[in-house]
Amino acid sequence: MTQHTSDSTTASNQKVALAFSGGLDTTVCVPLLKEEYGYDEVIGVTVDVGQPKAEFAEAEETAEALGLEHYVVDAKEEFAELCLDSVKANATYQGYPLGTAMARPVIAKAILSVAEEQGCTGIAHGCTGKGNDQLRFEAVWRDSSLEVIAPVRELGLTRKWEKEYADEKGLPVEGGNEGDWSIDTNLWSRSVEGKNLEDPSYIPPEDIYEWTDAPTGETTTIEITFENGYPVAVDGESYEPVELIEYLNEFAGAYGVGRTDMMEDRMLGLKVRENYEHPAATVLLEAHEGLEQLVFTKEERDFKPQVENQWAQKAYEGLVDAPLMKSLDAYIDQSQTKVTGTVTVKLQGGMVRVVSRESDFAVYSESAASFNTETVDGIEQEDATGVAKYHGFQSRLANSVAKQAETEPELPADD
Ligand code: ARG
């Protein structure tokens, strides 16, 4: 373990707020914040972004065993709204619907509020120095006057050292999160990584999946209603954001929908193998894009992916408050004023496919597309003749010029 060089080692009567999950990393941080950083008091904060109930029980129990003052903040609604905003942006990062990424700033802000309310002078997380989360947390926290502390990274801790230290100190680290995989779950996605899953050639066993059943031959359809790009109803029934996501996770997960096994380029440049489950995200993203296909002009369809790509990049970086994001959101919101309608998707073999879409804003004219009508808005079929004559004109010209140059005899060399 390397000695850190924090200027707070001399702090007295100082309080620090710790992002607390009750797992090994954050549990060892509790005594270390006192021993190594000189804080007198540590408070733990767990933010609810839709983790399973068992995780809160684990955090509660561990906090109690540690004698840690523990706060739980419910941020599910705020997070669900951000997730549905990401649908308007058709946002994925390299194919990943950004669940962990989008949750981090929400969690970071909630912890910062508690820290400020409780008069803390420091704020800490248990992230390592290899991942994205340290950057996402700190991007929010470094905008405050609190001392930002990352004990695991700053003290160079390893899991092995943490286990020995916990044993030595008699810290409550039994049970929870000691399984084979490192898992991060929230409303939008469940991420599974670590151990042999890190090997890109290792085929994941079926038991890493909890939200999705192995796809079978069974199929079904489901209808999603959007208002201004925002999903508001499923099969004609209205849902609030949290409930809508929960319902779709369960419904589509039963059909094996929403598994991603991918190579992911982290912010620090590391390429890692990741596995995700996100049934609701898959259904909503597919359906939403299907509706945009109907109501957007070609120019809008060509342009929006550029905005979406930037949106997803910033969301991946945890920079949802970047000024660029506000500009992108303004474009996206404007574009969504006609993304109202219903889309039916078919769930089949673990896949989602749009099979029907309807909207009052459809840029679609049956008479224009049909083979059975002669004129459209006073335009006759034969009016296309001129266009057809011009089409490809420049290519034909360029090719013939090139051909001529090839066949022309070379000029005699000057001497
Ligand atoms: N790689 C993802 C991200 O950076 C998710 C990481 C989740 N963490 C975990 N321990 N499973 O957003």
pLDDT digits (tens, 9 = 90+) for 279-312: 999 999 999 999 999 999 999 999 999 999 999 9
CA of 191 to the centre of ligand 1 (A): 6
pLDDT on residue 12: 54
For residue 192, which atom of ligand 1 is closest to its CA?
11
Residue closest by Cα to atom 8 of ligand 1: 184
pLDDT on residue 368: 75
- Please state, in angstroms and rounded to a whole number, the distance separating the CA atoms of residues 127 and 135: 9
Active site residue 182: yes
Residue closest by Cα to atom 5 of ligand 1: 100
Compute the Cα dihedral for 135, 138, 139, 142 and give only its sign: negative
- Please state, in angstroms and rounded to a whole number, the distance separating the CA atoms of residues 11 and 35: 12
Express each pLDDT in 172-182 by its tens digit. Answer: 986 544 467 89
185-358: CATH topology is: Argininosuccinate synthetase, chain A, domain 2 (3.90.1260)
CA of 75 to the centre of ligand 1 (A): 19
- Please state, in angstroms and rounded to a whole number, the distance separating the CA atoms of residues 118 and 71: 11
Annotated catalytic residue within 48, 133, 189, 357 = 133
CA of 5 to the centre of ligand 1 (A): 28
CA dihedral 133, 137, 139, 143 (to 10 degrees): -170
Express each pLDDT in 50-98 by its tens digit. Answer: 999 999 999 999 999 999 999 999 999 999 999 999 999 999 999 999 9
Express each pLDDT in 400-411 by its tens digit. Answer: 999 999 988 777
Closest CA to 248 of 201, 215, 204, 281: 281
Closest CA to 46 of 71, 12, 13, 26: 71
pLDDT on residue 88: 98
Q: At what angle do helices 76-88 and 279-295 cross, to 10 degrees?
A: 40
Express each pLDDT in 184-226 by its tens digit. Answer: 999 999 999 988 999 999 999 999 999 999 999 899 999 999 9
Residue closest by Cα to atom 1 of ligand 1: 274
- What integer best gives the mean pLDDT of the chain? 93
Note whether 103 and 186 are within 8 A (CB).
yes
Q: How many CA atoms lie within 13 A of 197 on its CB side?
A: 22
- Please state, in angstroms and rounded to a whole number, the distance separating the CA atoms of residues 393 and 119: 72
pLDDT at 1 over 70: no
Closest CA to 166 of 2, 61, 29: 29
- Please state, in angstroms and rounded to a whole number, the distance separating the CA atoms of residues 137 and 289: 31
Q: Is 183 in the pocket of ligand 1 (CB under 6 A)?
A: yes
For residue 191, which atom of ligand 1 is closest to its CA?
11
Note whether 133 and 108 are within 8 A (CB).
no
User: For the residues 214-239, what does the mean pLDDT come to?
Assistant: 97
- Please state, in angstroms and rounded to a whole number, the distance separating the CA atoms of residues 342 and 219: 20
For residue 274, which atom of ligand 1 is closest to its CA?
1
- Kindly state the percentage of the chain with pLDDT values over 90: 86
CB atoms within 10 A of CB 321: 13
Compute the Cα dihedral for 301, 306, 307, 310 and give only its sign: positive
DSSP string, 99-114: HHHHHHHHHHHHHHHH
Please report where in the chains the tokens 């981090």 appear, as a residue: 104
| 7-184: CATH superfamily | HUPs (3.40.50.620)
pLDDT on residue 366: 78
CA of 209 to the centre of ligand 1 (A): 15
**What residues contact 183, with CB distance under 8 A and at least 6 apart?**
177, 190, 191, 192, 193
pLDDT on residue 175: 52
pLDDT on residue 3: 44
Token pair, residue 124, equals: 């800490």
β-pairing, 230-234 vs 237-238, is: antiparallel
Active site residue 333: no
Annotated catalytic residue within 113, 153, 182, 353 = 182
Q: Is 182 in the pocket of ligand 1 (CB under 6 A)?
A: yes
Q: Is 340 in the pocket of ligand 1 (CB under 6 A)?
A: no
For residue 132, which atom of ligand 1 is closest to its CA?
4
- Kindly state the percentage of the chain with pLDDT values over 70: 95
Domain range summary for the chain, segments of one domain joined by +:
7-184, 185-358, 366-403
Q: Is 21 in the pocket of ligand 1 (CB under 6 A)?
A: no
Query: Quick one: three-class SS letters along 275-305?
Result: EEECHHHHHHHHHHHHHHHHHCCHHHHHHHH
Q: How does 273-308 read in b/e, with b if 16+ C-beta sit within 10 Å?
A: bbbbbbbbbbbbbbbbbbbbebbbeeeeeeebeebb
Length of the chain: 415
Q: Is 42 in the pocket of ligand 1 (CB under 6 A)?
A: no
- Give 393: exposed, middle or buried? Use CB within 10 Å, 0-12, 13-18, 19+: exposed
* 3-class state of residue 133 by DSSP: helix
pLDDT on residue 413: 75
CA distances from 69 to 123, 167, 240 (A): 14, 22, 32
Q: Is 121 in the pocket of ligand 1 (CB under 6 A)?
A: no
pLDDT on residue 2: 43
DSSP 337: G
What's CA 108's distance to the chain center, in Å?
16
pLDDT on residue 252: 98
For residue 183, which atom of ligand 1 is closest to its CA?
11
CA of 262 to the centre of ligand 1 (A): 12
pLDDT on residue 415: 65
β-pairing, 341-348 vs 351-358, is: antiparallel
The reply to whether the predicted model has a pTM over 0.85 is yes
Token pair, residue 143, equals: 């905008």
pLDDT on residue 178: 45
- Please state, in angstroms and rounded to a whole number, the distance separating the CA atoms of residues 342 and 356: 8
